[in-house]
Protein backbone atom coordinates (compact mmCIF):
# COMPACT_ATOMS: atom_id res chain seq x y z
CA UNK A 1 0.00 0.00 0.00
CA UNK A 2 1.31 3.45 -0.97
CA UNK A 3 -0.47 5.62 1.56
CA UNK A 4 1.06 8.95 0.50
CA UNK A 5 1.54 10.03 -3.11
CA UNK A 6 3.58 13.12 -4.02
CA UNK A 7 2.74 14.54 -7.42
CA UNK A 8 5.96 15.68 -9.13
CA UNK A 9 4.41 16.00 -12.60
CA UNK A 10 5.45 19.64 -12.83
CA UNK A 11 9.15 18.93 -12.18
CA UNK A 12 11.52 19.08 -15.14
CA UNK A 13 15.15 19.90 -15.85
CA UNK A 14 14.79 23.69 -15.98
CA UNK A 15 14.64 25.21 -12.49
CA UNK A 16 11.38 27.06 -11.83
CA UNK A 17 9.90 28.31 -8.58
CA UNK A 18 7.46 25.43 -8.16
CA UNK A 19 9.95 22.87 -9.45
CA UNK A 20 12.57 24.04 -6.95
CA UNK A 21 10.00 24.01 -4.15
CA UNK A 22 8.94 20.46 -4.98
CA UNK A 23 12.42 19.00 -5.40
CA UNK A 24 13.68 20.54 -2.16
CA UNK A 25 10.60 19.54 -0.19
CA UNK A 26 9.99 15.89 -0.97
CA UNK A 27 13.34 14.63 0.46
CA UNK A 28 12.20 16.03 3.82
CA UNK A 29 9.16 13.73 3.67
CA UNK A 30 11.19 10.55 3.21
CA UNK A 31 10.31 9.29 6.69
CA UNK A 32 6.67 9.08 5.54
CA UNK A 33 7.73 6.59 2.85
CA UNK A 34 5.82 8.31 0.05
CA UNK A 35 5.50 7.18 -3.54
CA UNK A 36 6.68 9.81 -5.99
CA UNK A 37 4.72 10.33 -9.19
CA UNK A 38 7.65 11.27 -11.38
CA UNK A 39 9.52 10.88 -14.65
CA UNK A 40 12.80 10.40 -12.75
CA UNK A 41 14.26 7.79 -10.45
CA UNK A 42 15.16 8.99 -6.96
CA UNK A 43 17.39 6.85 -4.76
CA UNK A 44 15.69 5.51 -1.61
CA UNK A 45 12.20 6.48 -2.83
CA UNK A 46 9.39 4.47 -4.32
CA UNK A 47 8.80 5.98 -7.77
CA UNK A 48 5.82 5.53 -10.04
CA UNK A 49 6.65 6.52 -13.60
CA UNK A 50 4.36 9.06 -15.28
CA UNK A 51 4.43 10.66 -18.77
CA UNK A 52 7.21 13.13 -19.49
CA UNK A 53 5.07 15.60 -21.46
CA UNK A 54 3.23 17.27 -18.57
CA UNK A 55 5.59 20.10 -17.68
CA UNK A 56 6.07 23.76 -18.62
CA UNK A 57 8.81 22.56 -20.98
CA UNK A 58 5.99 21.73 -23.42
CA UNK A 59 4.45 25.18 -23.08
CA UNK A 60 0.68 25.60 -23.02
CA UNK A 61 0.21 22.06 -24.33
CA UNK A 62 2.17 20.69 -21.36
CA UNK A 63 -0.10 22.55 -18.92
CA UNK A 64 -3.23 21.33 -20.70
CA UNK A 65 -1.97 17.74 -20.89
CA UNK A 66 -1.09 17.83 -17.18
CA UNK A 67 -4.59 19.04 -16.26
CA UNK A 68 -6.15 16.23 -18.30
CA UNK A 69 -3.77 13.67 -16.76
CA UNK A 70 -4.58 15.02 -13.28
CA UNK A 71 -8.32 14.68 -13.79
CA UNK A 72 -8.49 11.34 -15.60
CA UNK A 73 -5.29 9.34 -15.00
CA UNK A 74 -4.25 10.38 -11.51
CA UNK A 75 -7.43 9.07 -9.81
CA UNK A 76 -6.80 5.69 -11.43
CA UNK A 77 -3.23 5.64 -10.07
CA UNK A 78 -4.51 6.73 -6.65
CA UNK A 79 -6.92 3.78 -6.53
CA UNK A 80 -4.47 1.31 -8.05
CA UNK A 81 -1.86 2.08 -5.39
CA UNK A 82 -4.52 2.07 -2.63
CA UNK A 83 -3.41 5.52 -1.54
CA UNK A 84 -4.88 7.47 1.34
CA UNK A 85 -3.53 10.95 0.60
CA UNK A 86 -2.09 12.91 -2.32
CA UNK A 87 0.23 15.89 -1.87
CA UNK A 88 0.58 18.32 -4.76
CA UNK A 89 3.19 21.12 -4.56
CA UNK A 90 0.86 23.29 -6.65
CA UNK A 91 -2.92 23.79 -6.58
CA UNK A 92 -3.82 20.95 -8.93
CA UNK A 93 -5.72 17.79 -7.99
CA UNK A 94 -8.47 15.50 -9.25
CA UNK A 95 -11.94 16.99 -8.82
CA UNK A 96 -15.10 15.19 -7.77
CA UNK A 97 -13.34 11.93 -6.92
CA UNK A 98 -12.57 10.03 -3.74
CA UNK A 99 -8.98 11.30 -3.79
CA UNK A 100 -8.01 13.01 -0.55
CA UNK A 101 -5.35 15.65 -1.09
CA UNK A 102 -3.34 18.55 0.25
CA UNK A 103 -2.05 21.25 -2.10
CA UNK A 104 0.31 24.20 -1.94
CA UNK A 105 -0.72 27.63 -3.21
CA UNK A 106 2.20 29.92 -3.96
CA UNK A 107 0.33 33.10 -4.90
CA UNK A 108 -2.80 34.43 -6.57
CA UNK A 109 -1.11 37.06 -8.73
CA UNK A 110 -3.36 36.39 -11.77
CA UNK A 111 -6.32 37.47 -9.64
CA UNK A 112 -4.57 40.42 -8.05
CA UNK A 113 -3.49 41.65 -11.49
CA UNK A 114 -5.91 39.97 -13.90
CA UNK A 115 -5.39 39.86 -17.64
CA UNK A 116 -8.81 39.04 -19.16
CA UNK A 117 -7.44 37.07 -22.11
CA UNK A 118 -4.80 35.16 -20.16
CA UNK A 119 -5.40 31.41 -19.64
CA UNK A 120 -3.87 31.82 -16.17
CA UNK A 121 -6.67 34.17 -15.16
CA UNK A 122 -9.32 31.60 -16.13
CA UNK A 123 -7.27 28.85 -14.46
CA UNK A 124 -7.27 30.80 -11.18
CA UNK A 125 -10.91 31.87 -11.44
CA UNK A 126 -12.56 28.58 -12.34
CA UNK A 127 -10.26 25.60 -11.67
CA UNK A 128 -8.31 26.50 -8.55
CA UNK A 129 -11.39 27.46 -6.46
CA UNK A 130 -12.78 23.95 -6.99
CA UNK A 131 -9.45 22.35 -6.09
CA UNK A 132 -9.20 24.37 -2.88
CA UNK A 133 -12.79 23.80 -1.81
CA UNK A 134 -12.33 20.02 -2.13
CA UNK A 135 -8.85 19.88 -0.52
CA UNK A 136 -8.35 18.37 2.92
CA UNK A 137 -5.92 21.17 3.69
CA UNK A 138 -4.00 23.97 1.96
CA UNK A 139 -0.40 25.04 2.47
CA UNK A 140 0.85 28.45 1.35
CA UNK A 141 4.11 30.37 1.53
CA UNK A 142 3.05 33.46 3.50
CA UNK A 143 0.34 35.08 5.60
CA UNK A 144 -0.36 37.40 2.67
CA UNK A 145 -1.13 34.47 0.38
CA UNK A 146 -3.26 32.91 3.14
CA UNK A 147 -5.30 36.11 3.33
CA UNK A 148 -5.61 36.22 -0.46
CA UNK A 149 -6.93 32.64 -0.46
CA UNK A 150 -9.56 33.65 2.09
CA UNK A 151 -10.47 36.87 0.27
CA UNK A 152 -10.50 35.64 -3.33
CA UNK A 153 -11.69 32.07 -2.84
CA UNK A 154 -13.68 32.36 0.42
CA UNK A 155 -11.80 29.46 1.96
CA UNK A 156 -11.96 29.36 5.79
CA UNK A 157 -8.71 30.38 7.46
CA UNK A 158 -8.60 27.21 9.59
CA UNK A 159 -8.14 25.19 6.40
CA UNK A 160 -4.93 27.05 5.51
CA UNK A 161 -1.44 26.79 7.01
CA UNK A 162 1.21 29.34 5.98
CA UNK A 163 4.69 27.78 5.94
CA UNK A 164 7.36 30.31 4.86
CA UNK A 165 9.97 29.02 2.45
CA UNK A 166 13.29 27.99 3.93
CA UNK A 167 16.71 28.92 2.62
CA UNK A 168 19.31 26.52 1.26
CA UNK A 169 22.00 26.51 3.94
CA UNK A 170 24.51 25.16 1.39
CA UNK A 171 24.23 28.33 -0.70
CA UNK A 172 23.02 31.05 1.67
CA UNK A 173 24.47 32.06 5.01
CA UNK A 174 24.82 35.08 7.27
CA UNK A 175 28.37 36.40 7.19
CA UNK A 176 29.99 36.30 10.63
CA UNK A 177 31.60 39.71 10.20
CA UNK A 178 28.26 41.24 9.23
CA UNK A 179 26.50 39.59 12.16
CA UNK A 180 29.09 41.00 14.58
CA UNK A 181 29.08 44.54 13.18
CA UNK A 182 25.37 45.11 12.53
CA UNK A 183 23.51 43.44 15.35
CA UNK A 184 21.04 46.30 15.88
CA UNK A 185 20.19 47.13 12.28
CA UNK A 186 16.84 46.05 10.69
CA UNK A 187 18.33 44.04 7.86
CA UNK A 188 20.41 40.98 7.18
CA UNK A 189 23.01 39.98 4.61
CA UNK A 190 23.27 36.82 2.60
CA UNK A 191 26.13 35.56 0.50
CA UNK A 192 25.26 34.33 -2.99
CA UNK A 193 28.42 32.90 -4.52
CA UNK A 194 30.72 35.92 -4.08
CA UNK A 195 28.02 38.60 -4.03
CA UNK A 196 26.67 40.05 -0.80
CA UNK A 197 23.00 41.07 -0.87
CA UNK A 198 21.48 43.35 1.75
CA UNK A 199 17.85 42.58 2.57
CA UNK A 200 15.75 44.97 4.67
CA UNK A 201 13.34 43.52 7.18
CA UNK A 202 11.24 46.69 7.64
Provide the residue-wise pLDDT of the chain in tens; the chain has 202 residues: 679 999 999 998 887 889 989 998 999 899 999 999 999 999 999 999 999 999 988 988 999 999 999 999 999 999 999 999 999 999 999 999 999 999 999 999 999 999 988 888 999 999 999 999 999 999 999 999 999 999 999 999 999 999 988 766 776 665 565 555 555 555 444 444 444 444 444 4
Whether 86 and 127 map to the same domain: the answer is yes
Whether 198 and 129 map to the same domain: the answer is no
Whether 31 and 96 map to the same domain: the answer is yes
Instruction: Supply the range of the domain harboring residue 117.
Output: 4-162
Whether 146 and 47 map to the same domain: the answer is yes
DSSP string covering 54-118: -SGGGHHHHHHHHHHHHHHTHHHHHHHTT-SEEEESSS---SSSS--EEEEE---HHHHS--TT-
Counting the structural domains of the chain, the total is 2
Whether 158 and 178 map to the same domain: the answer is no
Output the pTM of the full model.
0.83
Whether 100 and 16 map to the same domain: the answer is yes
Whether 189 and 130 map to the same domain: the answer is no
Amino acid sequence: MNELLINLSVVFSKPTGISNYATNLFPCLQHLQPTLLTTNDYLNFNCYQIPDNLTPAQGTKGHFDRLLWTQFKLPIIYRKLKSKLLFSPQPEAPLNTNCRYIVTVHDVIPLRFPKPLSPLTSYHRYYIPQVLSQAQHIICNSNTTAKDICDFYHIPANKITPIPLAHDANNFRLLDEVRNNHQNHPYFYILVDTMVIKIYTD
